[in-house]
Amino acid sequence: MRYAYVAQHAFHHVEQHLEKTPNEYIRWRFQTGEDKENLTKVTAQYTEEEERLMKAKIPVPQEDGSILKLVVEKILSRRQKKSKYEYEVQWKGLSMDASTWMEREKLMKFGFEKYMNRVDEREAARAGLYARPLTQANVEKHLIDFGLDAEFGTHNRIKGLSGGQKVKLVLGSAMWQQPHIVVMDEPTNYLDRDALGALACAVKEFDGGVLLITHNCEFADALKEETWEVPGDGKVYVTGNKWGQGKKGKGDVVEHVIQDEVVDALGNVVKVKGPKKKLSRKEIKAKAKARAAKLAEGQDLTTDSDWDLDEYIGEQKEKKTKA
């Protein structure tokens, strides 16, 4: 899966490249076949333990039945064998012809998971870009689609762009690899009204998935079809549901159990009730008979189910009246 991310502070993406043109920035960012920005993320950095494991010798079976212990130079490519992935490994001190295919699980044990993820991203990028080479002309056309004409996209440096134009560049850069999923954190900053409208239309028409964080109510209202409001009372209020199954009317409430028990301000443990089970007529009669026996013996009605029975009986009477 290919994914793209637009940070809340969109200028973070381009602040180190102000002397480049937008066209040059995109070609620099994707020139190796992968998104260079992904390599700077915290989740892509190797830990000390991973670096130690990656320098260790790995036992590699040879054709004559012997085993050599070798150190990985680099991982070259990937292939699928049945239901598993294998990676082509080049070894230190050996020629390119001596590369070996190894299973993902084995390389993971030696700390190469993040390295293999990079190879996966590169393969995914190639799958999406085979029909669109990373040339100046193709990038220029791509930027025009995002509202940056050639004057600004190819012939002006990033430092000379307005805030809105920089956001358009960041959005265009994120979409260069034709991602399946787009994550946008506050993308409406610095965009004028026309650009906001265009972005809302683009999100609606996008065939992939979008995860959107925004404080702009007007922008959100233009996109959302269903709203789940969680005010903190342990319930979810669903409005605007249009997609059929489990359809709720406006203002309907969906009971939502957050946890089995909570601790109040005084330190008391309070049990949290889940959604009530719907009882059959036979079960209601049995409970009513048991409750009547308790009352006849002078016992107190102490359990929740004893008191809830009134509600069940009331519901049954209401159904009969309507019938």
Give pTM, 2 decimals: 0.58
Give the SS3 label for residue 138.
helix
Residue 316 lies in a domain: yes
The helix (run of H) or strand (run of E) holding residue 193 is helix 193-205
Per-residue pLDDT tens digits for 259-313: 555 555 555 666 655 555 566 777 777 777 887 777 777 766 555 455 455 555 6
Q: What angle do CA 270, 273, 275 make, to 5 degrees?
A: 165
Residue 276 lies in a domain: no
Angle between helices 136-145 and 22-29 (to 10 degrees): 110
How many beta carbons lie within 10 A of that of residue 177, not counting itself?
23
Question: Is there a single domain that holds both residue 68 and residue 213?
Answer: no
Which one has a higher pLDDT value, 238 or 131?
238
Q: Choose the final residue of a domain: 98, 129, 160.
A: 129
Question: Is there a single domain that holds both residue 119 and residue 59?
Answer: yes
Q: What is the pLDDT of residue 260?
A: 58
The percent of residues above 90 in pLDDT, for the chain, comes to 23
How many beta carbons lie within 10 A of that of residue 114, not counting itself?
16
Q: Across residues 148-163, what is the average pLDDT?
A: 93
Question: Is there a single domain that holds both residue 46 and residue 188?
Answer: no
Question: Is there a single domain that holds both residue 202 and residue 177?
Answer: yes
Which one has a higher pLDDT value, 318 or 160?
160
Please enumerate in sequence order all residues whose Cβ is within 8 A of that of 152, keeping only pairs 6 or more positions apart, or say none.
22, 161, 165
> Which domain, by its residues, includes 234?
227-271
Question: Is there a single domain that holds both residue 27 and residue 139?
Answer: yes
Give the SS3 label for residue 16.
coil
- Paired sense of beta strands 227-229 and 209-213, if any: unpaired
Question: Is there a single domain that holds both residue 144 and residue 217?
Answer: yes
Residue 37 lies in a domain: no
Residue where the block lists tokens 């000390």: 48
Closest CA to 99 of 120, 64, 70, 121: 70
* Total count of domains within the chain: 4
Per-residue pLDDT tens digits for 48-106: 888 888 888 888 888 777 888 889 988 888 888 888 889 999 999 888 888 889 898 88
Q: What is the pLDDT of residue 319?
A: 61
Question: Is there a single domain that holds both residue 139 and residue 219?
Answer: yes
Question: Is there a single domain that holds both residue 10 and residue 147?
Answer: yes
Residue 11 lies in a domain: yes
